[in-house]
Amino acid sequence: MILNSKIEGEGFPFIIIHGYMGMSDNWKSLATKYATQGFQIHALDLRNHGKSFHSDDFSYPAMVQDVVNYCAHHNITNAHFLGHSMGGKLVMFLAALYPQLINKLIVADIAPKYYTPHHQTIMAALNAVDFSAKPSRAEVDQIMSEYISDFGTKQFLLKNLYWVEPGQLGFRFNLDVFNKNPEAIGEQIPENTLFTGPTLFLRGDKSDYILDSDFADIHKHFPNAVIKDISNAGHWVHAENPEMFSHFVLDFLK
């Protein structure tokens, strides 16, 4: 099965990969912007996300193979890759296994290290929604508000609501699989990974996902990495400061 994607523009392939519980739609405005700069943008929906297929195998090796299959299907032999959060970890795994696929690599707000599961509050909010009671959008919003105070995080999650059929809402992502395997997305990249191509790490200056103490580890695996801070931004760097984010991305790719 081939991943769902939104393809826009003409030129050198530029593949954008969303984070955990995200989807290609999260990148809509930036993808449109990049498409005007001489790139053919491929914004992917990973397995168990967006409009892509659901699977009980939710692991980085499986997701890497999905991306490789996607590239083969679209006759892409070399591309720029941008991944945010889980998507950033995924493109690091891709660099470890298929470096020849990558021209330039951009990793947004994630380090190569292991992360302990830290989405417990979000998972509690999502699991509190009983879709068999046929709640309205407003009711789902209200239930999740009891767990999640941050407006941006809640809106990000609510984007996944869709009408399964008239009168019946559901989440696009595969919550059952996320519940079964909370450790999957925190995995560290293989110890012997070495990607020598041009690499850009972007971190939010208000985010704690990439610490100064992670720099040595980043440079060990990605010796040609440049690390830049996005000001006034937390973990959702591309959404919180899109201007600065885009400036760094386009400057790096040009």
CA angle, 224 as apex, 219 and 230 as ends, to 5°? 75
Active site residue 235: yes
The residue from 176, 205, 208, 251 that is catalytic is: 176
Comparing C-alpha atoms, which of 74, 8, 72, 4 is closest to residue 36? 8
Q: Which of 24, 85, 221, 238 is catalytic?
A: 85
Residue 85 known to be catalytic = yes
Judge contact between 83 and 89, C-beta under 8 A.
Answer: yes
Q: Decide if 176 is catalytic.
A: yes
d(CA 254, CA 249): 9
Q: Determine which one of 49, 80, 221, 235 is catalytic.
A: 235
Q: Alpha-carbon Rg of the chain, whole angstroms?
A: 18
Neighbours of 199 (CB within 10 A): 25
Question: Listing from the earlier edge strand, what are the strands of the sheet with 79-84?
Answer: 5-8, 39-44, 12-17, 79-84, 102-108, 199-204, 225-230
For the annotated catalytic residues, the residue numbers are 85, 176, 235
